[in-house]
């Protein structure tokens, strides 16, 4: 037995557990409050049997707090310019929480595997958050607010969907996340190259 997650069928183990951690970590990088609230509500609805390390997520206090914070983020994250500050602040929230969820989900593994899962969870959340922030930087200069609102709403919906899908079809969810990670890597490389090219052009113009 690798983890105590029962989803109305045999326990998720092996590659299924890996897929679950990948999906939840990415979702937390997009919207940590939506992810925590979804996990808690699924557990309360008896659709998810949380492992001992994550029983706290099923507390009504945790669910209520996550829902309130999600409601705040739902509006704060849709205000152009302010959303950049909000996302920067949540670098120190979403990534640690994703790592802690991965740590708790693998409480029955060996310490070495648990540590590896924690690091992987945090790294995936960091990639998701970084891609989200980069996209916001590109969209925020737009004079109309609809692009920010549409992007933020899509991120919220994707976080909830990936969390749910990860508990039902973990490998499918992991495959979707892998595709997003490839897009993020390509996007990041393009942004870095654009910045370097701009800096070189600026230096050449000054000289």
pLDDT digits (tens, 9 = 90+) for 156-186: 999 999 999 999 999 999 999 999 999 888 8
Compute the average pLDDT of residues 74-101.
86
35, part of any domain: yes
Position 3 confidence tier, pLDDT thresholds 50, 70, 90: very low
Q: How many domains does the chain have?
A: 1
Q: Where would I find the H helices in the chain?
A: 15-30, 32-44, 60-76, 82-89, 91-105, 111-139, 146-168, 170-206
| 64 pLDDT higher than 70 | yes
Domain of residue 198, residue span: 15-206
Percent of the chain with pLDDT over 90: 47
Rounded to an integer, what distance in angstroms lies between the CA atom of residue 141 and that of residue 162? Answer: 29
| 63 pLDDT higher than 70 | yes
Tokens standing for residue 159: 């976080």
8, part of any domain: no
Question: How confident is the model over 111-121, as pLDDT tens digits?
Answer: 999 999 999 99
Tokens standing for residue 16: 């299924």
96, part of any domain: yes
Higher pLDDT, 88 or 81: 88
Question: How confident is the model over 135-164, as pLDDT tens digits?
Answer: 777 776 666 667 778 888 999 999 999 999
49, part of any domain: yes
170, part of any domain: yes
Torsion sign over Cα 47, 172, 156, 22: positive
Please check whether residue 7 is in contact with residue 50, taking contact to mean a CB–CB distance below 8 angstroms: no
| 1 pLDDT higher than 50 | no
Tokens standing for residue 192: 């870095």
The pLDDT assigned to 13 comes to 58
The pLDDT assigned to 6 comes to 44
5, part of any domain: no
Whole-model pTM? Answer: 0.84
155, part of any domain: yes
DSSP 3-state assignment of 49?
Answer: strand
């Amino acid at each position: 037995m690798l983890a105590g997650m029962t989803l109305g069928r045999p326990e998720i183990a092996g590659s299924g557990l890996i897929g679950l951690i990948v999906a939840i970590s990415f979702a937390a990088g997009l919207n940590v409050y939506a992810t925590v609230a979804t996990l808690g509500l699924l557990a309360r609805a008896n659709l998810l049997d949380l492992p001992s390390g994550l029983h706290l997520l099923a507390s009504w206090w945790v669910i209520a707090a996550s829902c309130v914070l999600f409601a705040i983020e739902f509006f704060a994250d849709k205000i152009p310019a302010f959303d950049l500050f909000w996302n920067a602040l949540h670098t120190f929230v979403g990534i640690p929480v994703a790592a802690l969820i991965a740590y708790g989900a693998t409480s029955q593994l060996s310490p070495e595997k648990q540590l590896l899962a924690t690091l992987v969870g945090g790294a995936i959340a960091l990639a998701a958050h970084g891609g989200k922030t980069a996209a916001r930087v590109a969209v925020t200069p737009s004079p109309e607010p609809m692009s920010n609102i549409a992007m933020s709403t899509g991120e919220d919906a994707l976080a909830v969907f990936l969390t749910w899908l990860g508990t039902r079809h973990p490998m499918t969810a992991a495959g979707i996340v892998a595709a997003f990670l490839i897009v993020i890597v390509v996007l990041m490389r393009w942004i870095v190259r654009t910045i370097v090219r701009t800096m070189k052009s600026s230096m050449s113009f000054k000289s």
